[in-house]
Structure 1
């Protein structure tokens, strides 16, 4: 009987069996091997070029907004009646508008993310000012998230040190679901309806829940729940020296709240709702959609403290494709994320060349999936519920009979 969860060869090379039943070799290259392969020009940061993308995205937001309100809506609906077809047409019109605005807001979010990694320019003060401004507009605590996100990069897919999308182990999953005994555990699956509802919650409220409760991060025993968030200066997520910057992040949030109050007073609730709030919800959705699928896949491994290395963790990410939107509006954050985890200081406009360079070193360990990302979202929600493994390498498993599921240890 071969355990299909993990296995170790007679050499030092380790293996794991992924959710699909495929053998996954644990990477044996080093971070130096990767960095040596990246051309020096990939590290070149151009402030003017980076700012041009900020101005482009803001220009698109403003021009689309003016076109929609001043020309398109009056032209299409000036004589619209109150019948159901007209009301449905209006709904679809505004739905499409907020969808597009949400895309460009997400583009600005990604550029602020570049600032947090100091990939925006050679000037730290410029990076932090631009990042703080853009993220505050979207109610993101810039420095707070910058610091927790940095820790995520330093411990990607480390079971006890990673800061986000930390999967439960088998026992933790059973405890969360209230399973009693192995019989119930092995024979109780989740209905597709439950998966759908949980996925909707993740996509609509996942980001807010994460920054306010650290829901998918590490657990801090003995620390009050209200302290485990991105707003409390002395949260266990941070070092004591970070407190001032956490407060500065909070100031950005409070400033934006004041801006939104003034917006409401001057232009009314509808203007605020359709031009900022709904695009903001779209942005939060895209953020979770992108990051979840960058780190969750049936082929992705997690590691315990003894087995983890920076190179292994960075290699446990996956590049995907998102059509025109990915490279042209989301600034390649989806298509070049593996490289980003090996070296986050490379600006996005140099990431394609860097990605091609590291593929030669990574070989079979480079993960790429060009499947429709909505299909991938559903598959990951059904198939990647918890991790298990017995040699320090843990792979995703599930109770939905997706792939080898909970019967993994019974496979020959």
Structure 2
């Protein structure tokens, strides 16, 4: 390394065929948080969200209230992804103020910190494994296992992966999966899940009691429905897409799981902003400590990141992703129940 060459330059200009620990190490220069920048994104998004919520209650016309409601849902999605980054300690890792702020947000967003960290960290460590990947993610069965499973098990498996389950993620994935079920299973460990349900019900009661049913619908129901539906689909499609790879224990490696089992979801600039760059999911899985606002830098800087497995939010691509049901060990592909892979 020359005197004028930075550490980042050294990593970025290295071999274009890096893999394993060497590739993960190449991302390390980008896994650096800017405290001022991170707080700006947190507080500006929270401020916009508060203004949008106020719009659902105070806007002078019903159409403005509806527009504010939709905007609230999209901003709730953005702040949730930022929350997700903070839970990974990618941003504001040493800030107690950020920890408390995000703990409260987790309660309000039906994604309490205790269950989110436990399930999502498991997901990152077991992404693309045929066995064990169901915790914190959508379940995966091999075609052989599915065909031999009892009817009730097949029904539950297909229900958990059904498009309507994803669409109504507000109830199925967040209210039930992230709050009610964890508390019932482990009440001492996930007491904050019960708090989240109580707070959510309390907000609903206050809105209905003081502002009416319309306010409840526009301020709570529609925003949570939008954020949960989009968030649930993004999470599903970024690990269930044509060309995804799954492995048994012998074939699994951390970098392969990131690059072959996590997609790059191409979005326009508006949706990329509202989703806080979660589309760069292959990079996020390679190094979860990279702040969301630096992920595009990694795509540009590291040649190994430039040929990802891609999906989009176009209707046909969504159909292809949602059609995939089981892992075919012979074809080494995710396929529909009729055996086709939709590619």
Q: Which category of TM-score, normalised to the shorter sequence, fits these structures?
A: 0.7 to 0.9
- Select which of 28, 31, 34 maps to 2:23: 34
CA distance in 2, matches of 1:131, 1:268: 29
After TM superposition, the structure 1 stretch with the greater mean CA deviation from structure 2, 304-313 or 151-160, is 304-313
CA distance in 1, matches of 2:111, 2:151: 34
Matched with 1:339 is 283
Matched with 1:165 is 138
CA distance in 2, matches of 1:122, 1:140: 19
Gaps of at least 5 residues in structure 1 are 1-27, 78-89, 180-193, 216-226, 236-242, 406-412
Provide, for residues 121-167 of structure 1, a one-character-per-residue CA deviation record: whole Å limited to 9, x for no partner: 13163443222111211222222111110000011111112121232
Gaps of at least 5 residues in structure 2 are 1-16, 153-157
Is the counterpart of residue 386 in structure 1 residue 326 in structure 2? yes
Q: Kindly state the Cα deviation for residue 264 of structure 1 after the two structures are TM-superposed.
A: 3.3
CA distance in 2, matches of 1:198, 1:160: 20
Give the structure, 1 or 2, with the largest relative contact order (CA under 8 Å, sep 6 or more).
1
Aligned residues: 318
CA contact (8 A) 2:141 2:327 kept: yes
The structure with the greater share of residues assigned to helix is 2
CA distance in 1, matches of 2:176, 2:108: 21
CA contact (8 A) 1:47 1:122 kept: no
Provide, for residues 267-308 of structure 1, a one-character-per-residue CA deviation record: whole Å limited to 9, x for no partner: 333212211121111111011111111111111011112221
CA distance 1:177–1:233, shift in 2 (3 Å): closer
Greater CA radius of gyration, 1 or 2? Answer: 1
TM (normalized to structure 2)? Answer: 0.80
CA distance 1:271–1:396, shift in 2 (3 Å): same
CA distance in 2, matches of 1:99, 1:329: 12
Q: Kindly state the Cα deviation for residue 39 of structure 1 after the two structures are TM-superposed.
A: 5.4
Is the counterpart of residue 398 in structure 1 residue 336 in structure 2? yes
Matched with 2:86 is 115
- Select which of 172, 178, 184 maps to 1:209: 172
| Paired residue secondary structure (2:250) | coil
Matched with 1:361 is 304
Q: Kindly state the Cα deviation for residue 177 of structure 1 after the two structures are TM-superposed.
A: 8.8
Matched with 2:70 is 99
CA distance in 2, matches of 1:178, 1:259: 40
Provide, for residues 71-113 of structure 1, a one-character-per-residue CA deviation record: whole Å limited to 9, x for no partner: 550xxx7xxxxxxxxxxxx6xx665443222101111111111
Matched with 1:48 is 36
Provide, for residues 54-76 of structure 1, a one-character-per-residue CA deviation record: whole Å limited to 9, x for no partner: 22223223334445654550xxx
TM (normalized to structure 1)? Answer: 0.68
CA distance in 1, matches of 2:342, 2:233: 25
Matched with 1:324 is 269
CA distance in 2, matches of 1:213, 1:104: 22
